[in-house]
Amino acid sequence: MADRVTISIDAMGGDAGPAMVLPGCDIALTRHPGVRFVLFGDEAEVLPVLEKYPRLAAASEFRHCDVTVRMDDKPSQALRHGRWRSSMWRAIEATKTGEADVCVSAGNTGALMAMSKFCLRTMANIERPAIAAIWPTMRGESVVLDMGATIGADAQQLIDFAMMGGAMARALFDVERPTVGLLNIGVEEVKGLEEVRTAGRILREANLPSIDYHGFVEGDDIGKGVVDVVVTEGFSGNIALKTAEGTAKQFAALLRSAMQRTLMARIGYLFARSAFNALKEKLDPRRSNGGVFLGLNGIVIKSHGGTDAEGFAAAVDVGYDMVRNDLLAKIAADLSLYHRAGFHPDAAAAQAGNQ
């Protein structure tokens, strides 16, 4: 566990750039007074805002960067023109050189993933990184991955996601053996794509001490909190995330409309205000902001680009927790344990075909 956490910040990321990022860092500093920040960005935009937060300025070092990755840049463009000089690249690179323990950015997701993978490289035996999100549920919170890093996944990649998601759940939730489920179109073992069925068969047979494989889960099980970790590939994971966010906004809008419809409804709202405020807080997407890039030789946190200072602070909180709870060491240990066990998707598929 790190004695002191240093966080590198892409101060130019997000829709509002430093005007959102720096106040978010200041809020996070209130919660974690010992944190140090290394801020990367254009001095003409960053320094005037930083002057408004003297406590943050005292806890930070600033690095000028004359290139900013735009939110609409293609990943290939960002790599071509943003390497070495951009605030995003240099914030990532700081975790590689050891200047920082974790990088947080609200910038372009595709560019951030491409740069992170190019700069940090993937961990041993990991072919694809994944984006893991913290998902509010009826029982508390779950880890869901992949949320859109890559489209499609074979059985081995789904197993890797399960290992990495389990390690993240152990780091976040203080659960010794988190439950893991594979997202599928049904809970029956005969349903779903072959790669999903193969991954499930291997995870069940492996019976690894680091995770408790639950089996298949369906879409409505995510919000119920049936398992600590939900594993899927990036296409369906991203659709699930956007659907949940849209449903939460729709529910909030319908509720506001219903409470304003009649005088009795408005009076009823006054009596139930505390309950509605608790519901609003539970549905607040800022509380779950901060996707973790898993499978890299370094920790990178992706904040929503359109969030506010409170939401960005939540992403910084996630990065802080990942460092303090030795996420990378947990992932490496779990992956090593799995590979030493000698399970392999091709062998499992062949065995199933012979039955």
Q: Please give, one letter per residue, the 3-state secondary structure of the chain.
A: CCCCCEEEEECCCCCCCHHHHHHHHHHHHHHCCCCEEEEEECHHHHHHHHCCCHHHHHCEEEEECCECCCCCCCHHHHHHHHCCCEHHHHHHHHHHHCCCCEEEECCCHHHHHHHHHHHHCECCCCCCCEEEEEEEECCEEEEEECCCCCCCCCHHHHHHHHHHHHHHHHHHHCCCCCEEEEECCCCCCCCCCHHHHHHHHHHHHHCCCCCEEEEEECHHHHHHCCCCEEECCHHHHHHHHHHHHHHHHHHHHHHHHHHCCCHHHHHHHHHCHHHHHHHHHHHCHHHHCCEEEECECCEEEECCCCCCHHHHHHHHHHHHHHHHCCHHHHHHHHHHHHHHHCCCHHHHHHHHHHC
φ/ψ of residue 37, rounded to 5: -115, 145
Residue-wise pLDDT tens for the chain (355 aa)? 556 899 999 999 999 999 999 999 999 999 999 999 999 999 999 999 999 999 999 999 999 999 899 888 888 888 877 677 899 999 999 999 999 999 999 999 999 999 999 999 999 888 889 999 888 888 888 999 988 888 888 999 999 999 999 999 988 888 889 999 999 998 888 888 899 999 999 999 888 888 999 999 998 898 899 999 999 998 888 888 878 777 777 767 777 777 777 777 677 656 666 655 555 555 555 666 788 999 999 999 999 888 899 999 999 999 999 999 888 988 888 888 777 766 666 554 445 454 4
Q: Residues 337, 208: contact at Cβ < 8 Å?
A: yes
CATH of 128-288+326-355, one of 3.40.718.10, 3.40.50.10140, 3.40.50.720, 3.40.190.10: 3.40.718.10
Per-residue pLDDT, 47: 96
Q: What is the model's pLDDT at position 349?
A: 47
- Closest alpha carbon to 18 in 58, 72, 65: 65
Q: Where in the chain is the domain with CATH 3.40.718.10?
A: 1-120, 128-288+326-355
Q: What is the pLDDT of residue 103?
A: 97
Residues 6+ apart with CB under 8 A from 238: 147, 148
The answer to whether 108 touches 73, Cβ cutoff 8 Å, is yes
**Predicted structure pTM score:** 0.86
Say how many residues make up the chain.
Answer: 355
Q: If we measure between CA atoms, which residue out of 227, 139, 222, 226 comes closest to residue 177? A: 227
Task: Provide the sign of the torsion angle of the four alpha carbons 20, 25, 30, 32, taken in this order.
Answer: positive
Q: What are phi and psi of 134, to 5 degrees?
A: -95, 120
Query: In whole angstroms, how far apart are CA 60 and each of 7, 23, 298?
Result: 9, 13, 21
Q: Give the dihedral sign, CA 48/54/56/59.
A: positive
CATH 3.40.50.1970 assigned to 1-120:
no
Query: Using CA atoms, how far apart are residues 135 and 243, in angstroms rounded to an integer?
Result: 13
Radius of gyration of the chain (CA): 21
Residue type (1 letter), 83: R
Contact by Cβ (8 Å): 31, 323: no
204 C-beta neighbours (distance < 10 Å), count: 13
